[in-house]
A and B are shown apart, each in its own frame.
Chain A
């Protein structure tokens, strides 16, 4: 494959990782724990869209929106039932992390139980690649990039122009100060889940559209997603966007020298390098 083609593939993959990483980065910082079930929310979103479009015959665009909404609502429900309860008990981030493992395996296997272990596809026509200037790109890949850009801009608008967004940034930057200045912490946390998991779901649907849907799709993205979030600096959504693109490009370009089965090792190595040399990431403060 040519370098240009790998760059195109890398950008597309990067968009998906970026979308997932934003949500992870935000929950990591605001809820103060590494949510190991994050990948499974990506999968959940993909299957939700499958349920609506393939099983209930809903128009795909509507299915996409419903999938995002239902994943969002589901995560907010979990916050009330599980995470808030743990917060009240003063649970440590370690306890939350172990709990998130339980959530991850339950969620994943609930999807296997409901939909079976085999690969599924959305009821959308197969796309031919279009040749543009020496590279081949499918319509779906263009959709991925376009939707990702729109969503990232929406996040930017949310964080800079809305009160809620500013509250999220405040809670993210200095949790103690934010709490005493009257911000309704529970509400901001709820919103963090809603937005973060909405993005994760979007990433899942887009990825499913481009390739396929299977129960472990999100779990296998956990390492690249964490790498991206850590690379960009935990708590910084723009860092997550940048990190996502870097990881996506690195993984694809690495196939020039490494067998493609080892792509995941690339993101793993990047993560280790960041953790050892600059754990706060590229755009992390301290």
Chain B
């Protein structure tokens, strides 16, 4: 039972870190990023590949995070001036191309076979049976730190500039704000958080391959922030917990349903999709979001 709880908290934490990045981009800046998982993949693969080459893990994770940030800037420079729907479509393309490269360049990434058995932080010091608990504590610390970080950001003048862009770019520019620069900064920071989540996910699962980073993961982050509350950091925490409870909960009752495992998996996603639809129709601000701050009415 305790093991179950540890897994739930751990996975919720990883998804929370992942979703904080998306919240910064969408909830605070109004950017439609549908390729968020691509950066998670970059973080995970960079950490794993460097780790297996003997690079100290702390450095490997840091490199993954920085590389994701750079990729965010490279993606952002041509695309962040586009209309938001065009940005959305191009970001989908981005994460799919990242996945394709990971799949096809097997000389680097081992392709669809994936990579396993890589070192993890303090792997030799912590007993294998307790590792999950250890990682959970690490994740909780990171989540807490990131929460404080993001709260500080959003209440600052920098955060205020982001919010003005979310609200009305034209006004923001008329008051002297370099809208494009802020958008790039937002995307870069958000991508770095996704990469961090990816590294931790890799340490937890002890195995990664391109199918770990399918587009659906991005949409999980979207349901987390939309349900928890667009523009609310506490909403990210709530959304991540609810999401993970749902996932684990459905896995729990799987044995009692007269359905194939793939069917249960599919049904799970159907429910999530329907939840998003219903949310958008009836309560787009989510549970903890602020209706006044929602930028979804035309």
Contacts and interface: CB of A to CB of B under 8 A. Distances in A.
A230 B90 CA distance: 12
B104 A105 contact: no
Interface string A106-146: 11111011001100000000000000000000000000000
Contact of B97 (A108, A230, A268): A268
Contact of A103 (B83, B100, B269, B273): B273
Contacts of A33: 85
Given A91-B297, A92-B296, A116 B262 contact: yes
B296 A94 contact: yes
A95 B297 CA distance: 8
Interface string A208-250: 0000000000010011001000100000000000000000000
Contacts of A102: 223, 272-277, 279-280
A275 B86 contact: yes
B90 A98 contact: no
B103 interface: yes
B229 to A, nearest CB: 14
B211 to A, nearest CB: 12
Interface residues of A, number: 46
Interface string A76-118: 0000001001100111111101110111111111101100110
Contacts of A97: 32, 85, 88
A94 B275 contact: no
A183 interface: no
Interface string A159-182: 000000000000000000000000
Interface stretch (A63-71, A148-156, A185-193, A257-265): A257-265
Nearest to B259: A113
A261 B281 contact: no
A34 interface: yes
B222 interface: yes
A101 B296 contact: no
Contacts of A93: 85, 298
Nearest to B280: A99
A262 B100 contact: yes
Contacts of A198: none
Nearest to B279: A102
A111 B296 CA distance: 30
A1 interface: no
B138 interface: no
Contact of B262 (A36, A106, A112): A112
Interface string B207-228: 0000000011001001100100
A91 B298 contact: yes
B89 A90 contact: no
Nearest to A259: B104
A98 B263 CA distance: 25
A98 B266 contact: no
Nearest to B230: A98
Nearest to B82: A275
B103 A99 contact: no
Given A99-B277, A264-B96, 11 more contacts: A34-B85, A34-B89, A36-B34, A97-B32, A101-B34, A102-B274, A103-B277, A106-B274, A113-B266, A226-B89, A259-B104
Interface of B: 32, 34, 78-79, 82-86, 88-90, 92-93, 96-97, 100, 103-104, 215-216, 219, 222-223, 226, 260, 262-263, 265-270, 272-277, 279-281, 284, 295-298
Interface of A: 33-34, 36, 82, 85-86, 89-95, 97-99, 101-110, 112-113, 116-117, 219, 222-223, 226, 230, 259, 261-262, 264-265, 268, 271-272, 275-276, 279
Q: Identify the 8 closest CB pairs spanning chains A and B, nearest first.
A: A106-B273, A102-B276, A92-B298, A112-B266, A109-B269, A105-B273, A113-B266, A109-B266
24 contacts: A36-B34, A90-B298, A93-B298, A94-B85, A95-B297, A98-B226, A99-B277, A102-B275, A102-B280, A103-B277, A107-B273, A108-B269, A109-B267, A109-B269, A113-B263, A113-B270, A116-B260, A222-B92, A223-B93, A259-B104, A262-B100, A268-B93, A276-B78, A279-B83
